[in-house]
Structure 1
Amino acid sequence: MNVPPPSPYPPSYYPGFPPPRPSPGGSRKVVFAVVAGLLLAAAAASNLLWFFASIFASDSCGTSAGTARFCDDSGVWMLVAMFGPMVTLAAAVATVVLGAERLRRPWTALALGVLVYATGPALALFTVFG
């Protein structure tokens, strides 16, 4: 019968190393992630509602209520009104991610991202209502 040789180390009677301490800025990162996630969800819902409304915005182009810019024959401004908020949302997400990771300024990057995003719906409203 082969019996393994005894271990050269004594048995351990202690639990091992203590668990690592949480990082000092851990709770702030969670708060930032929750706030950024809520703002992203609100912006995405707003974009979906704006996209839905902009589909029907061209109904007034045959009447005097339509603006000349939105109702031109090229359809470029209609595309700006439909997809402008989505493009600025992508730019805002990139601004927040790059600002939070590269510059280590998450709250400043979040404020800048909100301003970048706000230009899309503002441009779309200006396009439709002149």
Structure 2
Amino acid sequence: MSFPSPPPYPPSYGPGFPPPSPAPGRPHRVVFAVVAGLLLAAAVAVDGLLSFGMLFAGDSCGTSAGTARFCDDSGVWMLVAMFGPWVALAAAVVTVVLGAVQVRRPWTALTAGVLVYAAGPALALFTVFG
């Protein structure tokens, strides 16, 4: 009669094995994902507020307060001011994803994405306020 072999894990008493170490690069990925998610949420909030403000920006076109560029008859600059921040946000997301996945430089890509995004609201505000 033979006895069964002991289980591969330690019994419930005693010091036990040390906990496994985290995979290399794992905490940095989590921090990157959290920071990128917070920046994305902030950008969506800023774009929402800008879109709401742009709904009323054309009200001053009949007065002397409207800028010549924003109040032209074609309406192209109104569209640029309204959708420019959203297009810049989409371009920033593409920049961050491509930079983080293909180039494997997530923090550099996140910095570039923030700069790409900042161009959209800056263009919208410059369009309205001249």
Give TM class, smaller chain: 0.7 to 0.9
Structure-2 separation of matches of 1:22 and 1:60: 58
Task: Name the counterpart of 1:41.
Answer: 41
Within-5 A mapping of 1:110-129: 110-129=110-129
Q: Which among 2, 10, 14 is matched to residue 8 of structure 2?
A: 14
Task: Name the counterpart of 1:88.
Answer: 88
Structure-2 separation of matches of 1:129 and 1:91: 24
Structure-2 separation of matches of 1:11 and 1:47: 64
Structure-1 separation of matches of 2:8 and 2:98: 45
Count of paired positions: 120
SS, match of residue 23 in structure 2? coil
Runs of 4+ aligned residues of structure 1 deviating over 3 Å after TM superposition are none
Give the residue type in structure 2 aligned to 1:85. P
Give the residue type in structure 1 aligned to 2:43. A
Gaps of 5+ in 2: 10-18
* RMSD across aligned positions (CA): 1.7
Query: TM-score of the superposition, structure 2-length normalised?
Result: 0.86
Task: Name the counterpart of 1:109.
Answer: 109
SS, match of residue 35 in structure 2? helix
Task: Name the counterpart of 1:32.
Answer: 32
Structure-2 separation of matches of 1:70 and 1:14: 73
- Percentage of identical aligned residues: 75
SS, match of residue 114 in structure 2? helix
Structure-2 separation of matches of 1:60 and 1:14: 77
Query: TM-score of the superposition, structure 1-length normalised?
Result: 0.86
Structure-2 separation of matches of 1:20 and 1:45: 40
SS, match of residue 53 in structure 1? helix
Gaps of 5+ in 1: 1-9
SS, match of residue 49 in structure 1? helix
Deviation at 1:30, TM superposition (A): 0.6
Give the residue type in structure 2 aligned to 1:109. A
